[in-house]
Amino acid sequence: MRTDSSPGTLPAREHLPATDAGTPVLDVVIPVYNEEKDLQPCVRRLHGHLTRTFPYAFRITIADNASTDTTPQVSARLAAELPGVTSFRLEQKGRGRALRTVWSASDAPVLAYMDVDLSTDLNALLPLVAPLISGHSDLAIGSRLARSSRVVRGPKREFISRAYNLILRGSLQARFSDAQCGFKAIRRDVAQVLLPLVEDTGWFFDTEMLVLAERAGLRIHEVPVDWVDDPDSTVHLVKTATDDLKGVWRVGKALASGSLPLDRLARPFGDDPRDRDLQGVPRGLARQLVGFCVVGGLSTLFYLLLYTGFRPFMDSQFANALALLVSAIANTAANRRLTFGVRGRDRAVRHQAQGLVVFGIGLALTSGSLGALNAATSSPSHSTELAVLIAANLAATVLRFLLFRAWVFPDRRDGAAPAASAVVASHDPAPATSPTSPVYATTPSAPSAYVTTQYATGPHATGPHATTAHVTAPYKARGDHDSRDAR
């Protein structure tokens, strides 16, 4: 997982301004590998649909993942014949690599992709990108698992898809419904900041991008789609599933260790109502209180299990002290990350030391309660001890929250912002290109791709004729297959 700082912060959301017909608003990427049979009908059908229904200028980019058949020739022929179509070749395989390279080099303010088999009904394309054009959302995905979606596919793929999304919800706490549907879009300003954090170059690219975006607080719009399975798909399901599970483990480990600089993306927009300074409204109190209650409930259960396990081997006071110490360390670590949003290792030792002070106060309350119980009766029952400890812990929990919020993890947003915190950037829409200016160019956000000749075409893009863009992307191939839908 990459831990380098992202190149900048996201601007405030704005509705994309109406531009000249020659400036593409939407760039639809079709990643392909050895698709000489399906490529031409796919591109012609998509081009015809966009020409009839899409109200903005558009571009279709064929991203060839080092095909060894006649796919490059088919791509070049389509680019020459259809206005607004370009081809883009990479010398290494990988759908994620293709999307990263083309999206990083594109000048269109809205970037999308779809699989070459066009399993998703194209009528969902405009609803997919409309929230991005309006500035309402940052990413958009097609969902086959929404209640109103209409899907036709076999039981094996249905089971694999639902099982995979269930794994994402259980392991990475993902709240989006469908990570694998090959029908997604993203704003270019968001992509420039988010893509450098995404490591995968294959099929897991989509999932990793969505998980990081969601953890960073970006808004993901879901569109129910009509989807028909492609019976001729040649995807290796077992290998794809294995690679996806490895990706889930890698991303989960990076999130747990705090090695991702998600603070560069968190709360980046100046129009976030939570950032408005309202008198008498504590910042984040409701969210922190809910998080603290959840962590506290789990910590109490953990503490009681520890106490029950220690009690047969030692005195009640020692069992209580040891159980409270272990649970307090876990409680401080969980509240640090989940309740108060503190990530990374900075001041972690100090926070634990302060947490131990809070633990000492809780120990005094619970130990005093046990002492009072033992003074009242010589041999209290185990259930009575637990009841007294629960009551004492409730009082200690309230005090712990107040100390955590005011002393251990105080809100420092009113003070000097740390160097890694997000700042509000002004909106900088893509400049209009002249009829002779190149559509793609090497940018700081795409340092690993080398782009040569690249011009778009026709009334939906600049330049009189389409030419083929050739890219050599020096990424290491890692478990990449063909470009069809892996679901």
Angstrom distance (rounded) from CA 208 to CA 252: 10
Chain-wide mean pLDDT for the chain? Answer: 76
Q: If phi over 0 gives left and psi between -120 and 50 gives alpha, with beta otherwise, what is residue 34?
A: left
Give the Cα separation of 259 and 212 in Å (integer): 12
pLDDT at site 174: 80
Integer Cα distance of 280 and 262 in angstroms? 29
- CB 84 within 8 Å of CB 457: yes
Residue 480 has pLDDT above 60, yes or no: no
Residue 21 confidence (pLDDT) above 70: no
C-alpha separations of 470 from 12, 51, 133, 394 in Å: 34, 26, 29, 65
Strand partners, 228: 152
pLDDT digits (tens, 9 = 90+) for 158-203: 787 788 878 887 778 788 888 888 899 999 989 998 898 898 888 8
Q: Is the pLDDT of residue 105 over 70?
A: yes
Report the pLDDT value the prediction gives residue 398, as an integer from 0 to 100: 81
**Do residues 116 and 28 lie in contact, with contact meaning Cβ atoms separated by under 8 Å?**
no
Q: At what angle do helices 382-403 and 316-334 cross, to 10 degrees?
A: 30
- 230-273 per-position pLDDT tens digit: 766 555 566 677 777 888 888 888 877 777 766 656 555 445 55
Is the pLDDT confidence value at 206 over 80? yes
Residue 425 DSSP one-character state: B
Going 230 to 480 to 174 to 114, the CA torsion angle's sign is negative
Sign of CA dihedral 42, 111, 267, 408: positive
Tokens at residue 143, please? Answer: 């969902």
Give the pLDDT confidence of 410-460 residue by residue, as tens digits. Answer: 865 544 333 333 333 333 434 333 333 333 333 333 333 333 333 333 334
Please spell the DSSP secondary structure of 197-263, one letter per residue. Answer: G----STTHHHHHHHHHHHTT--EEEEE-EEE--TT----HHHHHHHHHHHHHHHHHHHHHT-S-GG
Residue 290 has pLDDT above 60, yes or no: yes
